[in-house]
Structure 1
Amino acid sequence: MECVISLERLAESQHGQLKYASAFVDEHIRDIRIVDGFIHIEHESPLGSDVVSERVNRLIERFSKGDFGFKENILFENKITTPYTGDIISELIDSKAIKVLEPGLFIFREPFSSLMRFLDFSFVNKIAKRFEGMQEESYPAVIHCETLNKTNHFTSFPEHIHFLTHLREDLDVIEAFSDSIRKAGGWNKDQALELDKNMPQPNFVMNPSTCYHCYEGLQDETLEGDGIVVTAIAKCHRFESKNHSDFGRLLDFSMREIIFVGKPDFVKENRLKSIEYLKELAVEWEVDSLLEIANDPFFTNDFQVKASFQRNQEMKYELRLTVPYQNKSIACSSVNFHSNTFGNAFNIKMGKRNAVTGCVGFGIERWAFAFLAQYGLDQEQWPTTFREQYADWQEKSL
Structure 2
Amino acid sequence: MDLVDGWYHVRMALERALDDLFALDPRAFVEFDSVVGTEDMEALGYVRNFPHLTCLMCSLPPARLGAFSKGEERLSRGYQAVDVDFALLPAACYKIYLGLRGRRLDAERVVGCIAKCFRHEDKPLDAYRAVNFTMKEYVHLGSAQAAQAHLEAGAARIDALMRHLGLAYGTETASDPFFDATTSVAVMSRLMPTKREIVYDGHAVSSLNYHRNYFGDKFDIRLGEEPVHTSCVAFGIERWMAMLAERFGEAAAAEEALRGFEAGQAA
TM-score band by shorter chain is 0.7 to 0.9
The correspondence of residues 49-198 of structure 1 with structure 2, limited to 5 A, is 106-126=1-21, 128-129=22-23, 135-167=28-60, 173=63, 177=65, 179-184=66-71, 188-190=74-76, 195-196=81-82
Query: Deviations 1:252-283 (Å, cap 9, x if unpaired)?
Result: 10000001111212212222111111111111
8 Å CA contact retained: 1:233, 1:254 = yes
Structure 1 runs of 4+ off > 6 angstroms? Answer: 191-194
Which residue is equivalent to 2:95?
A: 213
8 Å CA contact retained: 1:219, 1:347 = yes
1-structure distance, mates of 2:48, 2:77: 31
Identity of aligned residues (%): 24
Matched, 1:222 2:222: no
Query: Any gaps of 5 or more consecutive residues in structure 2?
Result: none
1-structure distance, mates of 2:249, 2:239: 14
Displacement, 1:385? Answer: 4.2
1-structure distance, mates of 2:176, 2:78: 37
Query: Deviations 1:213-265 (Å, cap 9, x if unpaired)?
Result: 0000100000012x111001100000114x24344111110000001111212
8 Å CA contact retained: 2:114, 2:137 = yes
Which residue is equivalent to 1:240?
A: 121
8 Å CA contact retained: 1:319, 1:333 = yes
Aligned length: 263
Query: Any gaps of 5 or more consecutive residues in structure 1?
Result: 1-105, 323-328, 393-398
Highest Rg: 1 or 2?
1
The 1:346/1:253 distance shift into structure 2, 3 A limit, reads same
With CA pairs under 8 Å and 6+ residues apart, which has the higher RCO, 1 or 2? 2
The correspondence of residues 1-398 of structure 1 with structure 2, limited to 5 A, is 106-126=1-21, 128-129=22-23, 135-167=28-60, 173=63, 177=65, 179-184=66-71, 188-190=74-76, 195-196=81-82, 199=83, 202-225=84-107, 227-241=108-122, 243-302=123-182, 306=185, 309-322=188-201, 329-377=202-250, 379=252, 385-386=257-258, 388-389=260-261
The 1:146/1:204 distance shift into structure 2, 3 A limit, reads same
2-structure distance, mates of 1:286, 1:210: 28
2-structure distance, mates of 1:236, 1:374: 25
1-structure distance, mates of 2:252, 2:52: 39
1-structure distance, mates of 2:50, 2:261: 38
2-structure distance, mates of 1:212, 1:312: 24
Q: Tell me, what secondary structure is at the counterpart of 1:108?
A: coil
8 Å CA contact retained: 1:271, 1:360 = yes
